[in-house]
Structure 1
Amino acid sequence: MNHDRPQLRTSAWAATIASAVAALGLAGCVNYAGIKSDKQIAPPTQYETKESLPAEGGQWPAMDWAKQFGDAQLPRLIDEALAGNPTIDQARARIEKASASVGTAHSALYPNVTGSYSWTRERYSDNGSAPPPVNGTWQSENNVLASASFDLDLWGKNRERLRQSVSQEKVAEAEAEQVRISLAASVASTYNHLAQLYALRDIEAREVKNREDIGRITDGRVGAGLDTNVERQTANGETATSRSSVSDLDGQITTVRYQLGALLGEGPDGGLKIANPSLGEGAGVALPDNLPADLISRRPDIVAAYWQVDGAIHDVKEKKAEFFPDVNLSASAALDAFGWGRFLTAGSGQLQAGPAIHLPIFDAGALRAQLKGRYADFDYDVATYNQTLISALSDVATQVTQIHSADRQLVDAQQALDAQTKAYQLALVRYKAGLNQQLQVLNADDNRLAAETAVVNLEMNRRGMQIGLIKALGGGFDASQAGLAADTETPIPAPSGSTATH
């Protein structure tokens, strides 16, 4: 017996496959010559930020950044929103779908094995093609089949599809972090707005008392003949206007509570259970060092854009692989027989094996058009990354500038409030003494009210800007901690634009 014969057959089979692939490769005429891209993501050092984003030795936001405002209710509300808001569930579902795509792409790297069994009962025609003794009888046919196929993936098409799926999974994870940060910032901003409305309501409630005091003084002056009924009605009207402002603020407060309830993933009544805010000033504002470079790993939207570009590169490479021969190996083994008696005998066996080779020779430009589309997607994703980075830098710079501007405005606004308060007090004393007209007191009170409202709005808006800055700095996200770190020191290069033909 010649034991080398199976090995010789295997070598001959492999040589046959190689020869067929080479022949088809030489015969093929579809190629991607001239289709390329020179786009690449921009490094953060490309943009000038030294003046707008100076190094100030500050710290990046921590995940528990809400605690700095000294209101224990705010962190609890954020945690409740992250646990119950449907947008978080949507983000998780997108991650699960991307993970399933990874599993599907991964399975293509391995052989596919299937099995089947069938049983049929059939009466054959007396006058049909079935020979005696089968014709005119009932017969049972049993068939069991096991088959296997394997894509050799010589040009890496399946591997690139897997890498592209992994990149898309990371995109989904980064986008989920962006949803989390946006939701937390929205809860904090809405909660701050609620605090602002309560502060404005307190001002208006005090204003009602002031107008009532002016009304009582007017009544006394009318009785003394110093004022007329005109001044009395004017005072009553001003008091009613202030009460109307309180009612308006009450309505706004209820509306914002409904908004908070929705953010928490609850019905409107959920917002009505929230206690009145007691927010403090929060930590001081100082930008971290090396901000532009580190921001790309702290902002999940930039990280998502990065992995989108990375996935587009693998998408291009996958499409390029389709220009080359595709080789699949398949094999099957079966048992097929009439009846049960001979079903499990060697004579019922069937075997089949062989390669299948596919190569596009003429497709009227379909593959080239598809590759151009993939390159267009890549260029779009690169532009999206660059725009996301530009917007992120501008976002941080804008928030910092607005905070510093608010700080300067607050100094002047507080001085204006002090002066207008003194002016109102003096006008009220003179009005009581009969030295001023009512109009002067009302004007002084209006000026004091406007100054006090301006101070409260500046304080509350500044805290809102601080929340916006926390969001702009990533809200505690860190790509390395989240398993989404990428090598962005060297920009992602454009996919190879070589002009290989086959």
Structure 2
Amino acid sequence: MLAEAATAELEISTTIARTYFSLQAVMQQIVHLQQIRDILRDSNAAMTARQARGFVTSSTTAKTKDELLKIDQVLASMQAQEISFREVLRALTGSGADDFPLIAMRPLPEPQPQLPATLSYALLSHRPDLVALRWYVQSSFDQVDVAKAAFYPNLDIKALLGITSIRIEDLLNVTSLQFRLMPGVSLPIFDGGRLNANLRKTRAASNTLIEQYNQAVLGAVRDVAIAATNMQNMEDQARIEREKSEQAQIGEEEAGARAQRGLASAISAREAQIPVLNAQVQMADIRGKRLAAEIALIKALGGGYDTPALP
């Protein structure tokens, strides 16, 4: 069915989009983490040299080494995620190990600044899974009508023309078996038990489909609510992270100015870049999650699926 095919297509396309942007977010985080690691390596080398001259204690050097090890652990985890995302994309696109294109780092697109003005229930009509279930429900209504129609008698007058001895009183007095042997005659009154059972079964099947449809609608509403809430949460986190980044940049500028005036070392000025880079790592993560939530909302609303006419 067209709607079912569209459901599968929507699932695959949104998974590809979500995985791609997650990959881009991870690659950006890796770049910033590598910059932090380079600064910490230089800082650790400087601390080790100062310790050798007796200017600092071993505990101070141990602290910088510990920070460096933590960054290496985070980097290893992020690089594993990058490999995993690439493999997922390769599998989803049906590419082989040799023909899968190299995905270079690209700037993440700016997310929508806010939620759509309205998220009405009518938007759910674009979901192909709901369209498919609605078709099943409509088909079940038709089947109930067919089961009801089976109760109506059917007499083919032309088929009775050759039976010259049949009279009206004969039609009222013959047995069920005799009627079944008569050509062109069908009086469902003799099959009432079977027809009633069939009608009950058909109605029960229709009611089951209606219940499934209702549950699917509730699930769709929940999907939209969760995606919209996640989008709003990510936007709130992004605003907080931007404020933290601004404060970190002020600290970086002040440290650079002190170093230029000879009031601080060059390595301390570089270390002041770490909070800025950490904020950029967090911002890349938030933007990736914000885009994932936006894609989830698009999926929850059917991805722009246009409902065709009933087949």
- Normalising by the smaller structure, the TM-score range is 0.7 to 0.9
Residue 320 in structure 1 maps to residue 148 in structure 2: yes
> Unaligned regions of 5+ residues in structure 1, if any?
1-171, 331-353, 486-502
Aligned counterparts of 2:287 and 2:119: Cα–Cα separation in 1: 29
Check whether the contact 1:399–1:469 (CA below 8 A) recurs between aligned residues. yes
Quote the offset at 1:194 in angstroms: 0.5
What letter is aligned with 1:412? Answer: I
Tell me, yes or no, if the aligned pair for 2:32 and 2:278 is still in contact at 8 Å.
no
> What does 1:148-167 align with in structure 2 at a 5 Å threshold?
none
Q: Supply the AA of the counterpart residue of 1:305.
A: L
Determine if the alignment matches structure 1 residue 483 to structure 2 residue 309: yes
Letter in 2 for 1:280: P
Alpha-carbon contact 1:259-1:268 (below 8 Å) kept: no
Question: Are 1:297 and 2:125 an aligned pair?
Answer: yes
Structure 1 residue 257, shift from structure 2 partner: 0.8
Equivalence for 1:457: 285
Cross-structure match for 1:405: 233
Q: Which of 192, 196, 199 is the equivalent residue of 1:368?
A: 196
Alpha-carbon distance between aligned partners in 2 of 1:288 and 1:367, rounded to the nearest angstrom: 52
Name the counterpart of 1:378.
206
Kept in 2, the 8 Å contact 1:254–1:272? The answer is no
Q: For 1:210 and 1:226, how far apart are their aligned partners in 2? A: 20
Give, in angstroms, the shift of residue 292 of structure 1: 2.5
Q: SS in structure 2 opposite 1:201?
A: helix
The residue aligned with 1:202 is 31
Contact residue 175 and residue 300 of structure 1 kept, 8 A: yes
Aligned twin of 1:419: 247
Is 1:281 matched with 2:110? yes
Distance 1:450 1:434, change over 3 A: closer
TM-score, normalisation: structure 2: 0.74
**Distance in 1 between the 2:278 and 2:195 partners?**
68
Report the equivalent of 1:387.
215
Contact 2:32–2:281 (8 Å) recurs in 1 = yes
Distance 1:365 1:250 in 2: 69
Q: As a proportion of its length, which structure holds more helix? A: 2
SS of the aligned residue for 2:39 comes to: helix
The Cα of 1:413 is off from its aligned counterpart by 1.4
More strand by share: 1
Counterpart amino acid of 1:466? E
Whole-angstrom distance in 2 between the partners of 1:222 and 1:424: 26
3-state SS in 2 of match to 1:222: helix
**Contact 1:421 1:448 survives alignment (8 Å):** yes
Q: What is the alpha-carbon distance in structure 2 between the residues aligned to residue 234 and residue 286 of structure 1?
A: 44
Gapped regions of structure 2 (runs ≥ 5) = 160-181
Structure 1 residues 434 and 229 mapped into 2: Cα distance closer, same or farther (>3 Å)?
farther
Partner SS for 1:274: coil
**1:114-129 pair list within 5 angstroms:** none
Equivalent residues of 1:261, 1:270 under 8 A apart: no
1:474–1:393 Cα change, 3 Å:
same
The alpha carbon displacement at 1:201 in A equals 0.8
1:256 to partner: Cα distance: 0.8
**In structure 1, distance between residues paired with 2:67 and 2:117:** 50
Which position in structure 2 is the counterpart of 1:77?
none
Once residues 240 and 281 of structure 1 are traced to their aligned partners in structure 2, the CA distance between those partners, rounded to angstroms, is 33
Structure 1 length-normalised TM: 0.48
Could you tell me whether the CA contact under 8 Å between 1:261 and 1:269 is conserved in 2?
Answer: no
- In the TM superposition, what are the counterparts of 1:27-46 in structure 2 within 5 Å? none
Match of 2:55 among 196, 209, 226: 226
Report how far residue 191 of structure 1 moved.
0.4
Alignment partner of 1:248 is 2:77 = yes
Secondary structure at the aligned position of 1:267 is classed as coil
Distance 2:255 2:48 in 1: 17
Report the count of equivalent residues: 282
Alignment of 1:131-170 (within 5 A): none
What per-residue deviation string (whole Å, max 9, x for no partner) do you get for residues 354-377 of structure 1? 935455666794543332222122
Tell me, in whole angstroms, the C-alpha distance in 2 between the residues paired with 1:314 and 1:451.
Answer: 60
1:355 aligns with 2:172: no
Matched, 1:307 2:135: yes
Structure-to-structure mapping, 1:83-102, within 5 angstroms: none
Question: 1:316–1:297: structure 2 CA closer, same or farther, 3 Å change rule?
Answer: same
Instruction: Find the aligned partners of 1:320 and 1:484 in 2 and give their Cα distance.
Output: 22
Q: Are residues 1:213 and 2:42 paired?
A: yes
Matched AA of 1:225 = G
Residues in 2 aligned to 1:283 and 1:445: alpha-carbon distance in whole angstroms: 29
Residue 466, structure 1, aligned to residue 294, structure 2: yes
Moved more, 420-429 or 264-273: 420-429
